[in-house]
Amino acid sequence: MATKVLSLRLPEEIAAEIAAVAHVNGVSMSRAIRTAIEDYVASQRAEKGFKARLEKRLEEDRKLLERLAE
């Protein structure tokens, strides 16, 4: 799997909490953050209304791309 490096700014308190939770669970902070992001994406995909918002966004993007292609 290809990876992408991202920079993330967090309040010090949240960063310390993530570090502590990751340490207790024996994983890296990167792994803990990736897991949290994966859980967030999964919860959004399962949320009622997400598919409709996604389809609306796709339609808006399609219209914009078509205008740019003219």
Write the pLDDT tens digit of every residue in 21-68. Answer: 999 999 999 999 999 999 999 999 999 999 999 999 999 999 999 999
What pLDDT shows up at residue 47? 95
What pLDDT shows up at residue 63? 97
Cβ atoms of 36 and 22 within 8 Å: the answer is: no
Say yes or no to pLDDT of 1 above 90. no
What pLDDT shows up at residue 32? 97
Say yes or no to pLDDT of 4 above 90. yes
Cβ atoms of 58 and 51 within 8 Å: the answer is: no
Helices 12-25, 29-46: crossing angle, 10 deg rounding: 100
Cβ atoms of 19 and 29 within 8 Å: the answer is: yes
**Full-model pTM:** 0.78
